[in-house]
Every structure is written in structure tokens, then in C-alpha cells.
Structure 1
Amino acid sequence: MNWRGTAVLALLLAIGVAAGFGASWALGDNWSGDTPAAPVPASPSLPIDPVPELLPDPRIPPLAEGLPLVRQSVGAGDFRITLPVPKGWAFFESSLNEWQWRPPEQPDFGYVLRVEQVLSNRRSIEWTLDRRLAELREDEGNVEVIDQTTDSLHISFVSANHLRHAYLRWIDPTGGDNAQVELAVIGREVDDPGMADLIARVASGIRLG
């Protein structure tokens, strides 16, 4: 074989290796060939947080838009706030500065409203949002930012093999730029319209005292 033949053979081998690498990366766990796929060398460009096998969501109706709301007070003294919450939802006090509401007798991995006072940080909304997103990426799996504004996040993530969606928003009820209250509505992908509606209405009705 002359030098031209050797060069052509080398080029064809290089193309074959590149094509095989691309197919392995694209197909991932869906590889269906009759023979095992060749190992793919580690690379920074490859996913490092593979999506686990997801479990089914609970079979409950999607979170509705326009739920009736009632006002409720949480906190005490100078840290007391009032806000509208879904009528009939059960109330849980997670800690001295964090509260949750969810439908009574709802199965796990349904939807929940969470409110937390974070004013002790005395940080801007922008700083708090960035810090919270970094914490979520460290603590949760497969975090994806679906939408982001100067004071809110819409993300998806995987928790205990369940795909979850969350809307988060930071508020300064005094009209300033300090993150005093963190609102979150967490649920399934099918609950997205209802979650977006609920967090907007709660945020617009939160008051000090």
C-alpha cells in the first residue's frame, strides 16, 4: 500500500471513531444495538449528572388557577407578616421562620406553598437569588433553570427520583431591595400554570404586621 492509500485508510478510521463517539453520546441509555457499545472516554463536555429513572407522579388533579385565598398571619413582633394562602389547605410550621401549606391528605410529591423569612441575611434580592440557585444546584439533582428574572426563578429538578418543578420569588414588603421573604410553590410539571398563578397572587398580597 502506497502513502496515499495509508492516508485514506487513516482518515476513514478517524471518521468512524468520531461517528461512533457521537452515536454513543446521543443514544445514552437508549442504546439498542445487539452488541455492547464501546466505552466512551471521560470528557468535560459529557453530562456529569445523568437523569435517574423517574417514578410516576401521584394521580391527583393539577393545581388549579384562581384558587380561593384567605389571609393568614405568621411570625411574631416586628417579624410578623400576613399573606393570602389557599383556603382549606393544611398549615405546617416547619421552623420559627418557615411555614408550609398543602391540601389535606395529599400524597407525597404533590404541590406545596412554602414561605420563609430571610431578612436576617440583610442581602439584596439579586444576591439572595444567586446564592439560592447555587445551593439548589449543590443539594438537588438535575437542576435546570426554565426562567429567571431579577427577583424570581422557575426551575425543574429531580428529588427522590421524582421530577419536580418550583417557582421561587423574593420580596421586600417595605418596597426596598433587601430579600426579606422567600416564596416557593413546588409541584409537578402539570401544575405549572396553577403554581405560576398562585405565587403571583401570594406575592402581591404579602404585608408586614
Structure 2
Amino acid sequence: MTARTLGIALALAVAGAVGGYAVGAVNADEPRTISMALPVPAASPSYPVNEYDVKPDPDDPALKPGLALVETRLSAAGSKLVTGVPTAWKAGGEGNYRTFVVAGNPLNTYQLRVGIFTDKQSVGVKRIARLGALDEAEDNDALQNLVVESETDDGFVASYLQHGYRRVTMERFLTLGGTSAYATVAVIGREIDRPGLEDLLARVSGSLRVP
């Protein structure tokens, strides 16, 4: 290789290096800014939330615990039952059930319901059937916003809306010792009546007997 040829080769090598650097500089990405994750404000639930128009309860005084009870007799399907009911409460109903209310009170204050049956189903089966009936009533819009608050082997406490009013029901299912019959006791009222409802349910349930 002559000196001239060597000179040309060196010049081309230098030019290539410079050109490559220039292309690299042109093609280099600009530094990127990484956005930081910021807190996202809480959003409302995507599922629908039912809102209910609840009417104010009647302003009659709350049901008091410790009401005096008087014995009354019920009979249905050949079975008889003695139960205590509040003195002077008015009886109504027919068939297997009797309902007791304070005469003159609005129906959506409070009431006692006592029933007697002889179909030989267990109290557990009857409790489940009664809860099923409440579920069906809600499905058919006969009541709304059914909430089963607590359950035991022989009863439950639930609340629901009926005709726009908030109702509380406490119900028990009891066998009548030594017989194939059983009784149901239910007390229904307002939120303000809860202490009285609990007391009345316990005392009426304890008064049941076969004559």
C-alpha cells in the first residue's frame, strides 16, 4: 500500500467514525419523563343501590314491657291451646291464627299473632317455610327491603317495609309438650317498640300450654 493509499484509507475511517457518531446523536431518544401514580378519588359503587321512601311511624306511645296478660283459649284442626295475651287487646282473625291489637290503634303500630298447627312438621321446617314466605312476598312486591337480622333454631327477627312503613317482626315456633301440635307466636311493631316486642314475645311464648 502506497503512502497515498494509506492516507485515503485513514481519512475514510475518520469520516466514518464521525458520521456514525452524528447518526447516533440524531437517533438518540430524548430523556423520557415518567409520570408518578397519583391517588384516584373514590367512585360510587357501580351496582345499583335501592333507595326507599320510608313513611314516618304513627306517633302512638311505644309498646311497654311488662303488660298484664290474661289467658285465652284457641282451637284449630282438633287441637286446643291456652295462651296469655295482653289484657283488653282486641282479638281478630280466623282459621289457625288469632291476631290481638289495641282497639283504635293504627294497624302499623304493634300487634300479637298466635297460631296453632297439627301438620306434624318440625319447628325448624316451619321457621324455614315462614322465611320463604317472606322472601316470596318481597319478590311479589308485597313488602320491600326484607332484612333477616338474626335466626335461632326456633325463631328469627326480621325487618321490612310494608306500604312504606318500617316493620319489625319477632317470631317463634314452639312444640306443645307431649303433643303433635305446635304453636307460632309473632309480635310485629315499629323500631320504637323493640323492647316491648321482645318482652311480649318471651312472656307469651312462656305462657303457652295444652289445656
**TM-score of the superposed pair, with normalisation by structure 1:** 0.75
Secondary structure class of the residue paired with 1:164: strand
The structure-2 alpha-carbon separation of the partners of 1:77 and 1:52, relative to structure 1 and needing over 3 Å to count, comes to closer
Shift of 1:60: 0.6
Secondary structure class of the residue paired with 1:75: strand
Within 5 Å, which residues of 2 pair with 1:90-109?
Answer: 90-93=90-93, 95-109=94-108
Fraction of identical pairs, as percent: 28
1:73 aligns with 2:73: yes
Larger Rg, first or second structure (1 or 2) = 2
Structure 1: which 5+ residue stretches go unaligned? 26-39
* 2:64 alignment counterpart: 64
Q: Is 2:77–2:118's contact at 8 Å kept on the other side of the alignment?
A: no
1:84 aligns with 2:84: yes
* 2:115 alignment counterpart: 116
1:163 aligns with 2:161: no
2: CA distance, partners of 1:143 / 1:150? 20
Shift of 1:117: 2.1
Shift of 1:80: 1.5
The structure-2 alpha-carbon separation of the partners of 1:61 and 1:124, relative to structure 1 and needing over 3 Å to count, comes to same
* Deviation sequence 1:37-57 (CA, Å, 0-9, x none): xxx4x4xxx55xx24110000
The structure-2 alpha-carbon separation of the partners of 1:51 and 1:204, relative to structure 1 and needing over 3 Å to count, comes to farther
Higher mean C-alpha deviation, range 130-139 or range 153-162 = 130-139
* 1:183 alignment counterpart: 185
Q: Is 1:145–1:155's contact at 8 Å kept on the other side of the alignment?
A: yes
Shift of 1:3: 8.3
Shift of 1:131: 2.2
The structure-2 alpha-carbon separation of the partners of 1:205 and 1:161, relative to structure 1 and needing over 3 Å to count, comes to same
The structure-2 alpha-carbon separation of the partners of 1:175 and 1:188, relative to structure 1 and needing over 3 Å to count, comes to farther
Runs of 4+ in 1 over 3 A off after TM superposition: 1-5
Secondary structure class of the residue paired with 1:58: coil
Shift of 1:179: 7.1
Q: Is 2:76–2:117's contact at 8 Å kept on the other side of the alignment?
A: no
Q: Is 2:79–2:181's contact at 8 Å kept on the other side of the alignment?
A: no
* 1:125 alignment counterpart: 123
Secondary structure class of the residue paired with 1:208: coil
The structure-2 alpha-carbon separation of the partners of 1:166 and 1:2, relative to structure 1 and needing over 3 Å to count, comes to farther
1:153 aligns with 2:156: yes
Q: Is 1:58–1:108's contact at 8 Å kept on the other side of the alignment?
A: no
* Deviation sequence 1:89-127 (CA, Å, 0-9, x none): 11102x21111000000013110001122332x221112
**TM-score of the superposed pair, with normalisation by structure 2:** 0.74
Q: Is 1:125–1:179's contact at 8 Å kept on the other side of the alignment?
A: no
Higher mean C-alpha deviation, range 77-86 or range 161-170 = 77-86
* 2:209 alignment counterpart: 207
1: CA distance, partners of 2:145 / 2:92? 28
Shift of 1:182: 1.2
Aligned length: 177
